[in-house]
Every structure is written in structure tokens, then in C-alpha cells.
Structure 1
Amino acid sequence: MNRRRPVGVDTVHVGDEQDGRPSRPRVEGRRWRPSDELTLRLLTWSARVVGLLAVVSVVLPVGRRRLRDTIGGWLDLPTEATVAAGVVVLASGVMLLMLATALRRRKRRAWQVAVVVTGLIALAHLGWRHGIGSGVTALVLCVALIGTRSHFTAKPDPVHGKWRAVRVTLQLWLAGFLANFVLLSTTPSRFTDNAGLLDRALHALLALIGVSGPVQPVPWLDDLSAAIGLAFGIGALLLGGYYLLRSAEPKQGLSPAAESGLRDLLAARGAEDSLGYFALRRDKSVVFSPSGKAAVPFRVLAGVALASGDPLGDIEAWPGAIEVFLADCRDNGWVPAVIGCSERGATVWVRYGLDAIELGDEAIVDVPGFTLDGRSMRGVRQACAKLRRAGYEVTVRRSADLGEVERAELTTLAEHWRGTETERGFSMALSRLAGPDDPDCVLVTAARAGEVTGLLQFVPWGSDGLSLDLMRRDRATGDNGLNELMIADLLGACAALGVTRVSLNFAVFRAAIERGGRIGAGPVARLWAKALRIGSRWWQIETLYRFNAKFGPTWNPRFLIFPAVRDLPRVALAAIEAEGFGGRPPALLRALRR
């Protein structure tokens, strides 16, 4: 987004940026009241209950018998047709459950589909004067949805949209029809009772809704054909519903104007947050406050708008940027979340009805007070001395001092040493090395006999600080302590660089690990610490904490901000995917995009 005052924002009322007091959001010219939230929850849970009952009515044997006796007798249908009714009910139930989640996020398209579905149910029951109670209930729900239409303002996905949903549904139906038709056509005639070509085509078509066609195949072929038809038929509806109701996931990338605006804010107030410079990642979007004095960088993943660190800029302008960010989330049906904000930032975010939990601690070393002397630094001191005797030399310099050839060589080495398919890090990673646009970054290299075997990159933290971005080394060398050597030499060179503070790695759940190891810790604390140590086998939770602790840092807590407990699984999935530790399988995402 460009750095300019937003025009035509009618879903947010910008509060007074001078006193920092948040204002309540507006919906079509009026304020969002607590009763509106209650109404939205009631509608959401009503859809969930109805959808769950529909699924249970088909899954349980008693429900299937009731469905067969009621619908079959009501419409005087043959037994085979009740299978189709069961399929319709099952698909409708699952669709209602999907709609409920979308309704909770105020999706306009989910509201439209829900009105149509409930209206048809009410018309069917009341028109045939069967199930009057169910018809009245559906009618009441339909009227309630129409009466609350102003609540559902979230935009549909502009990338895929309804036509992608229609196309995917038709493609899967066509694929299911062709699969069954080919199966019936290539099977010997004695297995299909010598059925004609048109009968086979009609049988393949009806199998998509669970209805037996005119072909009388042998039992195993009939079961196989029905399974293929139902799999494609129900899959088409569910996948089409996914595309119809999914939240927008905009194309990643900062525009030149947005990046320029962020750099201006960093030049003015970049010293206030050690994570501020990471806002310049190229896979982020950004919104600015109406005054342009603050900004919230974020990335959208799995329906979550994930911001990182504190808002940039003047703290008095933070409310304006936060309100624009939350307005964008409401407009697009995103779940707002923040990973790695400071205690000061968390204090501002919770004023907007969000919740916060402590995620971990950031290790910050006070450079003037750092020394390798003393018993507590014995391990680091010995590791450094050992590697120096082995011939290692450390070089510390600004990115601007690198030549193009050396920059390319270091980039190649960093890619080779990465060890994972995707780049890890989001809240504390820049995702590029020694770029020409980042002249103030600091590169630390360790080499022996002229061969580079270790690399660190630090990004600027104001004019007198550095924040660790990248830590790579050649694991084939097998020399332990190389990272300790590079950090110790960097801290020794900080005086010449004009640096007085250095932010190291982020230690997730550090306080929990520390509490669990204390004498007298309770059973819950010990169990939680033990679970974190087990998790460290894969995610280096305790390893990073122990590594950072070697340098005697000050621990600054960092927080995770989220709307409600029910949103935590989705937020956690988005955060894990953003940080490069898993999430949605890349192969599945590529298939869905195709």
C-alpha cells in the first residue's frame, strides 16, 4: 500500500492519535455494539448446531432410518433415492459447518449462501406442510440473517472468487462422471448386464448424487461406481465451498512507495524496537496511520493477518495504524494477530479487545558491560581461544564495504548451509543477505586458511544497536564454538561501529523452562518444562535459550497477540508457517492455486 491517508474507509473510526485512546469500530455508519457481537455469535452457533445435527442424522444408523422413512414416505420415493437425500443432507451439514466459520468472520458471501440455504429449507418444509417446526426454525434463522445483513461486510477472495469455485466444482463433477463412465464402458458387458452407452452415461451421472442408475452391475462394480461417484460429488461441493468462502490472501510484496515510507519511519524512530528493521521483508504488506506517522507491517497466511513486532513510528500515532489494520482485517475476514511484540506494544494492542500471552524472551546484550572475563564466561572464553589456536579469523564489517563478487559468494554459501527447503524466520529475519539496499547491516565471517566457514548478519537497530538476523555455518567442519567466537568478536568490535546494544536470538518459552528447573517448582511447571525440552529435539527451544544465556544478556519478554482462544490454532498454524517450521504443506498449496 502507498504511504498516504486512506480514502473512503467507512469501517473504521480513527481515534485521537494524541491521547492514544481507541475508538469503537463502525459498521455502515454506526458503532459496533456489544449486542452486535452477541448476535453474531448466536447466528454462528445456530449454523454449527444445525450442521452438526444434519451430519449426525446421516452418520448414525437411527438417523439414516429416520431419513429413509421420513423423506421416502413424504415424497413417495424409491429406496435408492433416499441415498441421494442422505448425500444432500450430509453435504449440507458439512457446508453449514463451513458457513458457520465464515459467518463468524463476517464474510458477505457466506451470508448470501446461508440466506439461500435456509430459505430453501423453509420453503421446502412449509410448502409441503411437512416438518412445520423445522420449517419455522429455518425461516426464523433466514429472517435473522436478513435482519443482520449489515454485520456481514467482509470481502470475498479477489484472487480466486466465485468463478474459481464454480469452475472447480464443475471440473470435479466432470472428472467423476468420466471416471465412472470409463469404468462402466471398459468393464466386460457381462458385468454390466449388457447395458447401452446412454444407460452407462446416465448411471455415471446419477452416481455423483448417490442414486442408482439404469445399469445393473455386479455387486463389487456397483459399490466401486457408487464410491467413485460420491467421492467426486461430495468433494466437488466441499472444495467449491472452500474457494467460495476462503479469505483473501493478497500477493506478497512491498511496493517501492511503501518501502520508502517504512525506511522514513525507521530513520526517525527505528531505535525503539529491535525488530523494526525486519518490517522491510519483501513478503510483507503494510498499512499506515492516517497521519503517516505510524505503520503496521503484516503478512496474510491461512486467513490470518500476522503482524510482527511493534508498530513502527510515533507511539502516539500507533492507534491510528492499528485501527486501519483492524479495519482491513474486518473488511477481508482476516483474523488479526501479532507475533513478537514488546510489552509496551502488547499494552496498546489489548486496548482493542485482543488478548496476549507471553511467547518468550529476547536476549539483549549491553555492549559496554560485556566482558569475557570471569567464571561465568569461562566456556565462551575457552571456545574462542581453542578456535583461534586452530587458525580461525573473524572479520566484522558493514554491508556497504562488501564488493559485488564477495556478496554473491557469501549469498551462495548461506543458501548452501541453510539445510532446509524454505528460509526460516519471519519476526526476526530479513530474508536476504547483504543486499545493496541494506548498507548498514553488519556481516561477521569466520574463515580458516582463507575459506569462510561461518557467517552472521545483523540488521540496524536505530543508530546504536544491532539485531541478529542470520546465523549460518558449515556443519561439515565439525568445529564447535564457531558461533560463540563470531558473536564475541562482534561484541568486541562494537565500539568501533558505534554500537552499544545487540539483540541476539529469541528464546521461545524461556521463562517456562527456567521456572521448571528451579528447586520447588510445581508439577505443572516441571511437566511443561519437560515437554519443551522434548520439543527441543526438533525446534531448538532449550538450545537457543542456553546459547543466548552464555553471553549474560538482559531478557526482554515478547508476546503473541490474538483475538480469542478459539482463534489460537489458526494463529499458531499461520505463525509456524511464517517462521518456516511447517504449516500447510507446500505441495497442497500449489495444487490449490492451480
Structure 2
Amino acid sequence: MFKVNRATAGRLIGRAAALLFEVSPHIFAALCVGSGIALLTSGVTPAYEDRLDHIRAVLPPILIELSHFGASISGFLLLLLSAGLWRRRRGAWLAAVIVLVVAAVFSLFKGLDWEEAAELLVLAAALAPCRAAFNRRSRLFEALSPSWVMLVLTVVAGMLWLGFFAYRDVAYSDDLWWSLLIDREVSGFLRVGAVLALLAVIIAGRSLVSAPGARSHGPAGAPELERALAVLQAGDGVMPDGWLAMLRDKALMFSPSGRSFLAYRVRGRRWITMGEPIGPQAEHLPLLWAFAELADSYGGVAVFYAVEETALADLATLGLAVRKIGEEALVDTAAFTLQGRSRQNLRTAVNRCEREGAGFEMLRPGAAADQMAALRAVSDVWLTHHIGVEKGFSLGRFDPDYLALTPIAVVRQGERIVAFANLMPGGDRLAVDLMRFTPDAPPGVMDYLFIHAIQWARDNGYAWLDLGRAPLAGLENRRLAPVFARVGALVFEEGGALYGFAGLRAWKAKFAPEWRPCFIAAPTSTPLALALLDVALLTSGGWRGMLGLNAKRASPAARPSETPAVSEEA
């Protein structure tokens, strides 16, 4: 029994030691913050006169003044380095040890503050053997997170307030900014305060506008796209949105086996995925963790956009906040019919298109190469009459290489193509992506195309045709609902002038789809409204695109009046 208990105790001690080792970077980061605050506080408050007298007897005034300045700068550096310690940076560990030792020397030289010097040396001695806990590569000029920016600004502001309070009885003059002989402590505080305030503002501004990891995690190259295409063609665990990775505007992260991947973009501090992992279900959760950890290693946060209900359990395991952002319209291909009074408008669209000589054709993957010029002509005229510029990220664009990978539904009038849509296969469904038609196409041409696409999908073994998302649909404007949902519901109901949210959902509702919710997930500290704004900016190509400033629209007289426009949704 004694051996069993001893073995159990040894195991518990080992696990406790491993846990302590795991959290030690956070502990040292907090201790360095405290040391930095102590140094800054010491630098803005008067020193003991008797200790100063001893120092002045052996050191020249310039060295005392420089030590005072150096101690305050060291305190500020410890605040910055603590962020690197928190992120387990090797460079931050080494720099912190050096700064602590140097700061201890400055503490002795500026006022014989041996207690402070001893505390700094003890912390340096404790930190020095812990190199193994800091296992992440360092990055030069790494941006601070918003919480750390707030910490630095708060500490510097508090230091300035404390300094002015401590020297509130001093008659300030211009001489105090440069004099080393008169009121040295006051002049030192003013110089240090000015320098640190300027540095804090510069660092805060740079950190808040930076995009950590954006340059090194840009669009995927040809080898990565070939790997992703192999995963998509294998079909195991593939969702239709996975084909958007082939647009060459996203970075890709693969699982260790290479059978799964995530497509994402970096904007600001947010690393935003397009959908959930593509590949076998067993690899989803490890890949989600790896992506969140990668974003965190750069000081960013992982945001998962347009994920479905099946991913919610894994996202909850990551401790993320989840909000509904809209609904997807999925048509049951087996149950779809044109019979009944509710389908009168669809039957009318089919009959009208057929009377005007329209015909449907499905081009298999790769078969559109000979038709690409005709498809581009349709796309160009559609862009002129509608949004004016191509989208991206969460929507497809006219890219011959991309369109060659998926089936394309086309409507011909005679020999001329007047409408088309590419369809992304995934599991038991086909999803509509790019939709384009000409102004002189028969009225109801997109209804005609979708009806035949549904029938083709049914005949080829697909259970569902996904008509795409209806943004903000299904959000509840109730008193107990989250603010995010209430604002979204208000925009959905009243935002027709900005975007046809309700109209888009009504158009898709003609096909009697099953509405399935889609979500966005992010850490609780991340404002989801700002994350959605980032998605809109990525999709639109920036502020100019989102505000329509890049659009080249046709004149009102030239726009089609009979054919309802099919909007692309973000």
C-alpha cells in the first residue's frame, strides 16, 4: 500500500510540476510587469536623500542622471518584454534576463536602491534556468495585443500622474527639461516621462494597425493548391465552401497527414477561416486547435466564419463564443417539384424561357475551357450592370482556372450563352457559387437555371442543392437576445437600402428550401461585429470595394428591368 501511495504521490507531483512548467511563462510575465511598474514608480518619486549623498560622493552627476533614465527605460522595456514572455518567445526570455540584471545595476547607481536591485536579481536568477519553457521563435518588432497596449498606456499614464503629484510643489520652468545641476530629480522625471509617453503612443499606434503574420501567411502557392485539390477530389469530409480555397487568395494550413486543410486570411489581428476544416472528421478538432495556436503565436486571434452546426461541438471545445450570422438555403432535390399553386411563378419562368429558345446544359469539370470566352463575356456585362467589381474570400470570382475545376450550369439561347453558374460539390450536396446572366436574357432565366440544376443534381445522386447564404436571416430581435442578434435583425429588416437582405431570402424561398443556420465563432474577447466587418472587407477587397467606390456601373437606362437581379452575398 505504501508503495502504491508513494507512486501515486510521485505521479501527482510530476503532473503538478508539468503544469507549473506550462504556466511559468505567464507567471514570469506577470512578475516582469510588476518589476516594470516598480522601476517606473521608483523613477518618478524622490529618492532617499541620505542614499543620494552616498552615491554623489563616489559617482559623477551625469552617471547618476543616466542611471535614473536607464532604470525607467528598463522598466518600460520589461512591460514590453512581458508580452513576449506571455507568448513563450525565446528572445523575450533572453532579453528579460539581461534587462533585469542591467536594471539592478541602474537601481544601485541612481539612488543606492539595493532592495529593488535585489528583487530584480532574484527574478533574473529564477528566470534564467527556465529557457525550455520559452519554446517559440522570436519575432523582431512584434506588435502588442490590444490588452497589452492598454496595460502599457495605463502604466505610463499612471507614472506621469504619480510624478506630477510627487513634485506638485515644484515651480516648473524650461530649465528643468535640460538642467543636470538644479532639481535633478524633477528634470529627470520630465525627460523620462516625455520619452516614455512618446514611445508608448508610437508603439500603441503601430500595434493597433498591424497585421501580425499577414506577410508570411499570404496566398497559397502552386504546390499547396495541388495538395488542397487532391483533398477536395478525394471527397472525404469535403464541404462545398472548400473549393473557394482554389481562388488563390487565401493561405492554407494542412493537417500533419495532409488529408485535411483550412483556408484563411489574416486581417489586422484576426485570422479568419473560410468555413470549417476540409477533410476527414477525425482530423477537424486537432486542426482547429493547431490553427488557433498558430494565430496566438503571432499575437492574433482565430475567427471561424460561416461554419455549420456540425462544427459547434468542436468550437465549444476551443472555448469560443458562437453567434448565428444567417441561414443557408438547401433544396431537397428528391422532394422538389413544380406542381402546386405555390410554384406557379417557377412554371411560368420555365415556360417563358423555353418559348424564347432557352436551353439548359451542364458542363462537366474541365469542359468549359472551349467556352471560357463566351462565359467571360457574360460575366463582364453582368459586372457592368451590377456590382462592377469582382468579390473574393467568401465568394467566387471569374477565374478560368477556378471555374475549370467545378461543374458549370449554362443557359443557351440558340448558340449563345446568356447565363451560367458554377456549382461546388461537397458530400451529398452541390452549392451554387458564381451566378451571372446578360441583360437581354429571357425574364426568369436564373429561376430556369436553378430549376434544371436541382433536377440535374437529383439525377446525379446529390441530395441537396445549396443556394447559398442569406446573411442575417433568422436572427431574433427579442429583449433577451444578444445585442449582436438584435442589431443584425434590425439591419435585416430595415437595411434594404444598403443591401437586399430580405429580398435575397425571399428570392431563394421560392424554391422551398430547408433553412440551416450558419455561424461565426471567435474568442470571447473578440468583438464579433468587428470580425464580420473584416469578413466584409476581405470579400469586397477593402473599404473602397465595400462602399461601392470601385464599381463601374451602367447607366440606369441600360440596366435590365424585367429580369430580377440575383445578388451575391458575403
Does the alignment reach a TM-score above 0.5? Answer: yes
C-alpha offsets along residues 4-42 of structure 1, whole Å, 9 cap, x if unaligned? xxxxxxxxxxxxxxxxxxxxxxxxxx9995545654444
Please list every run of 5 or more consecutive structure 2 residues that lacks an aligned counterpart in the other structure: 1-14, 144-173, 180-193, 547-570
C-alpha offsets along residues 565-588 of structure 1, whole Å, 9 cap, x if unaligned? 3586885565454334758999xx
Aligned residue among 425, 432, 441 for 1:460: 425
1:277 maps to amino acid: W
State the shift of 1:250 in Å: 1.7
State the shift of 1:364 in Å: 1.3
2:309 maps to amino acid: E
C-alpha offsets along residues 282-324 of structure 1, whole Å, 9 cap, x if unaligned? 1333343333333333334435443333322222344554565
User: Cα 1:148–1:567, aligned 2, differ >3 Å: closer, same or farther?
Assistant: farther
User: Cα 1:92–1:499, aligned 2, differ >3 Å: closer, same or farther?
Assistant: same
Partner of 2:373: 405
Aligned equivalents of 1:573 and 1:44: distance in 2?
33
State the shift of 1:406 in Å: 1.5
Q: Does structure 1 residue 442 correspond to structure 2 residue 408? A: yes
Partner of 2:516: 556
User: Cα 1:108–1:418, aligned 2, differ >3 Å: closer, same or farther?
Assistant: farther
User: What secondary structure does 2:453 align onto?
Assistant: helix
User: What secondary structure does 1:507 align onto?
Assistant: strand
Name the structure, 1 or 2, with higher relative contact order (CA <8 Å, separation 6+): 1
User: Cα 1:54–1:387, aligned 2, differ >3 Å: closer, same or farther?
Assistant: farther
1:263 maps to amino acid: L
User: What secondary structure does 1:460 align onto?
Assistant: strand
Partner of 1:150: 132
Aligned residue among 123, 126, 142 for 2:105: 123
1:67 maps to amino acid: V
Aligned residue among 532, 546, 557 for 2:489: 532
C-alpha offsets along residues 479-524 of structure 1, whole Å, 9 cap, x if unaligned? 9977555434533554566644211222344332xx33xxxx5454
Aligned equivalents of 1:573 and 1:89: distance in 2?
40
1:401-550 aligned at under 5 Å gives the runs 401=368, 402-413=370-381, 416=384, 419=387, 423-426=390-393, 428-435=394-401, 438-444=404-410, 452=418, 456-462=421-427, 465-472=429-436, 484=447, 486-495=449-458, 499-512=462-475, 515-516=476-477, 521-522=478-479, 524=481, 528-534=485-491, 536=495, 538=498, 542-550=502-510
C-alpha offsets along residues 189-215 of structure 1, whole Å, 9 cap, x if unaligned? xxxxxxxxxxxxxxxxxx9xx9669xx
Aligned equivalents of 1:390 and 1:87: distance in 2?
86
Q: Does structure 1 residue 364 correspond to structure 2 residue 330? A: yes
Please list every run of 5 or more consecutive structure 1 residues that lacks an aligned counterpart in the other structure: 1-29, 58-62, 165-206, 214-227, 587-594
Aligned equivalents of 1:134 and 1:477: distance in 2?
82
C-alpha offsets along residues 39-87 of structure 1, whole Å, 9 cap, x if unaligned? 44445556667778999x8xxxxx9xx9386699979999xx99x9899
Aligned equivalents of 2:317 and 2:134: distance in 1?
24
Identity %: 20
2:335 maps to amino acid: G
Q: Does structure 1 residue 578 correspond to structure 2 residue 543? A: no
C-alpha offsets along residues 133-180 of structure 1, whole Å, 9 cap, x if unaligned? 6555655655565455434333345xxx5699xxxxxxxxxxxxxxxx
Q: Does structure 1 residue 274 correspond to structure 2 residue 240? A: yes
Instruction: Report if aligned partners of 2:88, 2:136 keep a CA contact under 8 Å in 1.
Output: yes
State the shift of 1:409 in Å: 2.3
- Greater shift, 299-308 or 259-268, is seen at 299-308
Instruction: Report if aligned partners of 1:281, 1:430 keep a CA contact under 8 Å in 2.
Output: yes
Instruction: Report if aligned partners of 2:406, 2:422 keep a CA contact under 8 Å in 1.
Output: no
1:128 maps to amino acid: K
| TM-score, with structure 1 as normaliser | 0.60
Aligned equivalents of 2:127 and 2:330: distance in 1?
52
For the aligned residues, what is the CA RMSD? 5.6
User: Cα 1:50–1:498, aligned 2, differ >3 Å: closer, same or farther?
Assistant: same
User: What secondary structure does 1:579 align onto?
Assistant: helix
Instruction: Report if aligned partners of 1:252, 1:299 keep a CA contact under 8 Å in 2.
Output: yes
Instruction: Report if aligned partners of 1:248, 1:332 keep a CA contact under 8 Å in 2.
Output: no
In the alignment of these two chains, the number of paired residues is 475
C-alpha offsets along residues 87-146 of structure 1, whole Å, 9 cap, x if unaligned? 9969975x7666555544434444455444444434322443455565556556555654
State the shift of 1:337 in Å: 3.7
Aligned residue among 272, 277, 281 for 1:306: 272
